Amino acid sequence: MKPLKDKISITIDSDLLEEFRKEAERDDRSLSQFINLILKKYISSLDED
């Protein structure tokens, strides 16, 4: 059975990463969960256009 998630590596601006970390902490989520949520919302917004 194939895993539902894949590991990747990305490069991200330091200031953006810091903001993601702060917001993830505020939302009581891991950084990975928070970024995944943001990306899902973004993709969903593309479908609305």
Give yes or no for residue 47 having a pLDDT over 90: no
1-11: average pLDDT: 86
Nearest to 7 by CA among 42, 39, 36: 36
First to last CA, the chain: 35
Nearest to 36 by CA among 44, 46, 47, 11: 44
More confident residue, 29 or 47: 29
The CA distance from 26 to 20, in Å, is 10
Tell me the per-residue pLDDT of 28-46, one tens digit each, with 9 for 90 and over.
999 999 999 999 999 999 9
23-32: average pLDDT: 96
Distances (CA, A) of 49 to 38, 39, 43, 45, 46: 17, 16, 11, 7, 6
